[in-house]
A and B are shown apart, each in its own frame.
Chain A
Amino acid sequence: MKLKTLILGLCTASAFALAAHAESITIATVNNGDMVRMQKLTDDFTAKNPDIQLNWVTLEENVLRERVTTDIATKGGQYDVMTIGTYEVPIWAKQSWLLPLDDLGADYDAADIIPAIAGGLTADGKLYAAPFYGESSFVMYRKDLMEKAGLTMPDAPTWDFIVDAAKKMTDRGADVNGICLRGKAGWGENMAFLTAMSNSFGARWFDENWVPQFDQPEWKKTLETYVNVMKEAGPVGASSNGFNENLALFQQGKCGMWIDATVAASFVSDPKNSTVADKVGYALAPDNGLGKRGNWLWAWSLAVPAGTQKADAAKKFVAWATSKSYLELVASKEGWANVPPGTRTSLYNNPEYQAAAPFAKMTLDSINSADPTHPTVKPVPYVGVQFVAIPEFAGLATNVGQLFSAALAGQSSVDDALAAAQSAATTEMGMAGYTK
């Protein structure tokens, strides 16, 4: 009996010793290519930090968001590092759920982070999440089809041009659709695109007093333009197409133009997976001459929840994954084209990167032309380009997204969809106490 106790005690003691030696942190991340690559490169981190062990939880976007939100709101303490987007950062920072990341080491060079991206991740002058990759949206188009239609894409097109070009490029017999846009319902799917688009039409979600604005002519113009161009020049099944579905269509040469995330550029220009890799051109997202373009701003970022016991290790990891040397590490292993884009100015000044990524300049210009603090033509009480950074937005916008996808599918009129959206938004805002 005594011996047993002794052995047991020894075991426990050694387990403690081990635990003290190797601290393990759990990282929740989204299953996108850049994050998967980071996961594969962990050896570099553990070699530099032998006392830290990394556990990965890789989930698809919807599930990830649900998991980390539940965890942080209930102080579940399951994760030490969370991958979150520009939408969550201001909300969570306000709740003091995140640790400020202003001490990521001497060589971190926070000033190098692209200002527009850093702006979306900063609250009260402090960075609350470090961007892992950043994106805006722009137009990707087929140079050959544009030429065939007798048109030249300007660097900064207008909506009129896009609509006209979409119609002229459409050749349904040859299975070519002039334009592919998101139609699948969801706040991060069709509503990300439509909200950004509406900004360029002078529309806004709420006025200064949080009154919903779907009954205004700007929204009507936005939705009508969208529905009409998709009817005449969009693919079948558009109302269930999200990023991936459109990517597959574009890669197979079925789209003349596609307005979507700048990260898509590295997919469509990859000859291994894209049949049109050498024919893709890029342009800024369209505008209407009102001073705002229809492009969004998003950064998948790493944040450290305030409840973690392992803040130091977590911060070390965040600093590693979002550092300049991480970019170099990826470049040395997988080439410059596979470096996570959109976070650091120095990357865009790097001639090697410019050579490897023909879309680099257009990406940077797009990111720089988005302004999350002044997203709309008319003044608004919120921040966020393709979202409104309030907790109620995700649910509300998913609801509105469903209504708009019905308009796209031709199952309700634009007017009905807008009226229903207005009433849904009014109810939601009344309930949440923004309006009386």
Chain B
Amino acid sequence: MRKILEVSNLSKIYGKGCPRCIESTGPEADTNMCPHCGSVVAIHDVSFDLHEGEILGLMGESGSGKSTVVKNLYFDQTPTSGEARFFEEDTTHEMFNLNAAQQRRLRNQRFGMVYQNPHLGLNFGISSGGNIAERLLMNDVSHYGEIRERAKELLSRTEVLLSRMDESPAAFSGGMQQRVQIAKALATNPPLLYLDEVTTGLDLSVQARILDLILEIQQERNTAMIVVTHDLGVIRLLTGRALVMKYGRVIESGLTDQILEDPQHAYTQRLVASAL
């Protein structure tokens, strides 16, 4: 399988930072806030590879930095330091050296994002179909009939009732909103999808159907995905490899079944032992 993404030494610090930030934070220091300058080391020195069609899990508790990783890779934030390379057939993009227009192109065409909070991923001021149209328009699909057809196709693929495609997502249930978000993310058939706690807070039965949908999409389109979750069940169900994060650091990584059955780090052992 071809490598699609390579992340090296990614770091993000909120605040002005000081020379002692790194040594004073992390799992050993038991905090991510620097006691000397008050800056928050959200992530430090995160490196990993992602291959075509692979689902990688980022796990850890709230505040471990797992969402920050995908937000930086989706250009929602700018990292303090580090590199990321995105590989297309004929080109390699140094993601953080690109200009704004080039980054926008990757974001709009090559990446898809599904947020835990649908308000971040969807425009509630327009219809569900309109949300998808918006993404297609950014990709130079401008024929009304064609947009309408694509939107229908995507919404029916993610099992959103077509009779409601002209309603705002505000009128939808949480599970339905996630389906619209997934449809929107898939609009350009991106090779890379970021999923940030997409099932958190949903009913179990709704969660199950969303997870099934994600797996089906991965199998149909060979989409590579980075799945951020604190839910070990989601990790076990979806991912082949996983990274465990704590206080902004990757403390353990490996094959998912190995992480869950033979965790090496004290924190991972505690995490796995506390699964319901």
Partners in one complex: no
